[in-house]
């Protein structure tokens, strides 16, 4: 048992204690469930801009974690540092107990990633792209074939499977990228706005797939602006504003902390409360 403390104490987000990167699994003091994602004092600056400001976060295995925040809050920057796409200015990240920046290849083999901006091989067909991703992760050929066909079916891409990705719509690109991210059954799945540009039918299918993945032990870390989806799916939510994690907990916990007596507060109410919306700030003088 490690001495890693409960990371989600109310509004004390600098409270995640130092850890030993030699630990293969991090376990909380309250539960034996290991942490699947740990951000330890993560900082990222771009010139003078502090995009992510000493962010501490720990997500347990099997959790469905929703990462919220206004535009420009630092969600994508955080996710990129957690998955090994953007080097932190300071701090470190662990995925499934592996230090992402010390052992990048080992860490990447354990995760699936749907990034904000999709960088797909445009000259491959959807089927070829998913198959390629499966082989990249070392999935046996027979499994790649079977899983590719099943994913094409459930994501309603079967009729367009041989079309080149360059000719795909926004939603089709997202679905093919999602299929490529989950085919190897990652331990931890990172999704940056997975429902953006997705129609309601596919959205339902994707929600069902994600739920099933978490039921089978996958941890999901995803960002979204769609409050109803986050409310419906997530076991735990974090809210980032101007690079600082300003709230974190279950929906129930956030409700109690952020909204006081309002037991019926929606996630949108909590979000607006926590990020401090200014009344009247939407006045456009030229519309009068």
Ligand X SMILES: Nc1ncnc2c1ncn2[C@@H]1O[C@H](COP(=O)(O)OP(=O)(O)OP(=O)(O)O)[C@@H](O)[C@H]1O
Stretch that binds ligand X, among 20-28, 44-52, 107-115, 157-165 (CB under 6 A): 44-52
Spatial contact of 200 and 170, defined as CB atoms under 8 Å apart: no
d(CA 231, CA 247): 15
Binding site partner of 219, from Mg ion, ligand X, none, Cβ cut-off 5-8 A by kind: none
Q: Is residue 56 within the footprint of ligand X (CB under 6 A)? A: no
Closest-CB residue for Mg ion? 76
CB of 129 to ligand X, least distance (A): 24
Q: Is residue 173 within the footprint of ligand X (CB under 6 A)? A: no
Which C-beta is closer to Mg ion: that of 68 or that of 213? 68
In angstroms, the Cα distances linking 142 to 38, 137, 146, 245 are: 34, 14, 6, 43
Of the candidates 42, 21, 87, the one whose C-alpha atom is nearest the C-alpha of residue 244 is 42
How many DSSP H helices and E strands does the chain contain? 9, 10
Which C-beta is closer to ligand X: that of 187 or that of 241? 241
Local structure of residue 1 (DSSP, 8 states):
-
Which C-beta is closer to ligand X: that of 74 or that of 134? 74
Tokens of 55: 């962010």
Give me the count of residues in the chain: 288
Helix axes 170-182, 200-215, angle to 10 degrees: 10
Neighbours of 251 (CB within 10 A): 18
Taking residues 66 to 95 in sequence order and writing x for each that binds Mg ion by CB under 5 A, - otherwise, the string is: ---------xx-------------------
Taking residues 19 to 58 in sequence order and writing x for each that binds Mg ion by CB under 5 A, - otherwise, the string is: ----------------------------------------
Per CB under 6 A, contacts with ligand X among 62-121 are 69, 71-77
DSSP, collapsed to helix, strand or coil, labels residue 171 as helix
Q: Is residue 49 within the footprint of ligand X (CB under 6 A)? A: yes
Which C-beta is closer to Mg ion: that of 116 or that of 128? 116
First to last CA, the chain: 64
Q: Is residue 224 within the footprint of Mg ion (CB under 5 A)? A: no
Binding-site ranges for Mg ion (CB under 5 A): 75-76, 116
Binding-site ranges for ligand X (CB under 6 A): 46, 49, 51, 69, 71-77
């Amino acid at each position: 048992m490690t001495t890693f403390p409960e990371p989600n104490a109310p509004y004390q987000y600098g409270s995640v204690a130092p850890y030993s990167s030699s630990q293969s699994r991090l376990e909380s003091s309250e539960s034996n469930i290991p942490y699947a994602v740990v951000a330890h004092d993560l900082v990222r600056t771009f010139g003078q801009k502090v995009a992510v400001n000493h962010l501490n976060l720990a997500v347990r295995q099997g959790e469905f974690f929703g990462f919220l925040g206004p535009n420009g809050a630092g969600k994508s920057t955080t996710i990129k540092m957690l998955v090994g796409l953007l080097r932190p200015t300071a701090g470190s990240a662990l995925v499934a107990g592996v230090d992402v920046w010390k052992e990048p290849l080992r860490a990447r083999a354990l995760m699936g990633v749907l990034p904000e901006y999709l960088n797909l091989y445009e000259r491959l067909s959807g089927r070829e792209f998913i198959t390629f991703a499966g082989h990249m992760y070392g999935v046996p050929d027979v499994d790649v074939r079977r899983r590719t066909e099943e994913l094409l079916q459930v994501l309603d891409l079967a009729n367009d499977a041989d079309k080149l990705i360059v000719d795909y719509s926004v939603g089709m690109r997202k679905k093919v990228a999602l299929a490529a991210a989950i085919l190897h059954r990652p331990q931890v799945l990172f999704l940056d706005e997975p429902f953006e540009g997705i129609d309601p039918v596919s959205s339902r299918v994707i929600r069902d797939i994600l739920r099933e993945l978490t039921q089978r032990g996958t941890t999901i870390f995803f960002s979204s602006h769609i409050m109803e989806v986050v409310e419906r799916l997530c076991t735990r939510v974090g809210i980032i504003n101007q690079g600082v994690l300003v709230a974190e907990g279950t929906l129930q916990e956030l409700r109690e902390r952020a909204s006081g007596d309002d037991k019926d507060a929606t996630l949108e109410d909590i979000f607006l409360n926590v990020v401090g919306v200014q009344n009247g700030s939407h006045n456009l003088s030229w519309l009068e």
